[in-house]
Amino acid sequence: MEFDWSTTGNEVVKAFKNQVTGKTFLITGPTPGGIGAETAISLAAADPKHLILAGRSQAKIQPLINEINKAHAHVKTSFIQLDLASQTSVRQAAKHVKDLLGDDQIDVLILNAAIMACPYALTEDGIESQFGTNHIGHFLFGNLLLKDGLPRSRVVVVSSAASVRKFEVLEPHLKDVTYNHGKCYDPLIAYCLSKACNVLYAKRLSKILNHKNISAFSLHPGSIATNLQGYITEEMRNQGIAAFKEEDPAFVVPKRKDLQQGCATQLRAALDPSLESHSGAYLDDCQVSEPAVHKPAEAHMDEVWELSEKLVGEKFDF
């Protein structure tokens, strides 16, 4: 089938059913009403062996587990408590995943959770909350799982079109992940930086995991109305559009997708065997995309990796 803006998650899963049946998937941030939950629902229809759903609160994720259990009682679903804003929680979650799996592995790890444009706050580890949650939390969680040899074939990092910014606008903030204790904090810039680092994380993983035959991808799921945008005001939205148009006069405000269309791109990144030769790629509208600003940003890939190691207090060499 042809994949494009309108492709749905169910269509992708149907096309690659053999890549789902009998496989184990771990998804972070599968809150009902979001694309993580929609991804899990689409996968459940194709008889996966095990869906591991990692989120901050079981009470929030339980309705999704109930929905999957009702429709597909034979699909094993498990909850893992994971607060990406707490490195202690991340380390505990990685250990719990290892214990839960036993001798099994994760076929596809989908790092989907995020917060967006929220008021200034620091994580318990003293890092601006968007950078600490969206990038550092996933960097630590993904790397701990990889260190234990748990992901078998793919790591999918859900980024955003917010990553398509000139990195020289974002890079200065890597020098101070507290944003001068909030004095120079811009919620949209902070979100863009976290999402640009998601892309660089996936690109770096693709290089260092190549010898293990593990692919890594990042992606923009599209513009989807979910609770992720809860802090976005009309003023912030207009400010963001103006910033994008200033950097790229050809920028066009993306058309809204529904949840099924919104989960399709990460499902193609997770499942399509033909993408294996494109490890490290960024996908948009279910297609490999190469935004012009991503290439020069790659020069900062090692800088971001080394800063991330410093912030989590651990070096990772796979």
Q: What is the CA radius of gyration of the chain?
A: 18
Mean pLDDT along residues 118-135: 97
Catalytic pick among 120, 179, 185, 282: 185
CA end-to-end distance (rounded Å), the chain: 36
How many distinct structural domains can be found in the chain? 1
Q: List, for residues 169-222, the tens digit of each pLDDT value.
A: 999 999 999 999 999 999 999 999 999 999 999 999 999 999 999 999 999 999
Structure tokens, 243: 């910033």
What confidence tier does 151 reach under pLDDT thresholds 50, 70, 90? very high
The enclosing domain of 50 has a CATH number of 3.40.50.720
What pLDDT shows up at residue 42?
98
Q: What is the DSSP letter of 118?
A: P
Task: State yes or no: is 201 an active-site residue.
Answer: no
What pLDDT shows up at residue 53?
98
Decide: 123 and 74 in contact? Cβ < 8 Å.
Answer: no
118 domain residue, yes or no: yes
Per-residue pLDDT at 97 exceeds 80: yes
Q: List, for residues 57-67, the tens digit of each pLDDT value.
A: 999 999 999 99
What pLDDT shows up at residue 51?
98
What pLDDT shows up at residue 248?
84
Mean pLDDT along residues 43-67: 98
Q: How far apart are CA 296 and CA 162, in angstroms?
A: 16
What pLDDT shows up at residue 71?
97
200 domain residue, yes or no: yes
Per-residue pLDDT at 79 exceeds 90: yes
What confidence tier does 232 reach under pLDDT thresholds 50, 70, 90? confident
Q: List, for residues 284-312, the tens digit of each pLDDT value.
A: 999 999 999 999 999 999 999 999 999 99
Q: Which domain holds residue 72?
A: 9-229+256-312
What pLDDT shows up at residue 284?
98
Per-residue pLDDT at 1 exceeds 80: no
115 domain residue, yes or no: yes
Residue 192, burial from CB neighbour count under 10 angstroms (0-12, 13-18, 19+): buried
Total-model pTM:
0.97
What pLDDT shows up at residue 231?
85
96 domain residue, yes or no: yes
Find, among 51, 265, 235, the residue nearest to 159 by Cα: 265
Per the prediction, the chain carries an average pLDDT of 96
What pLDDT shows up at residue 271?
98
Q: How far apart are CA 310 and CA 308, in angstroms?
A: 5
What pLDDT shows up at residue 252?
86
317 domain residue, yes or no: no
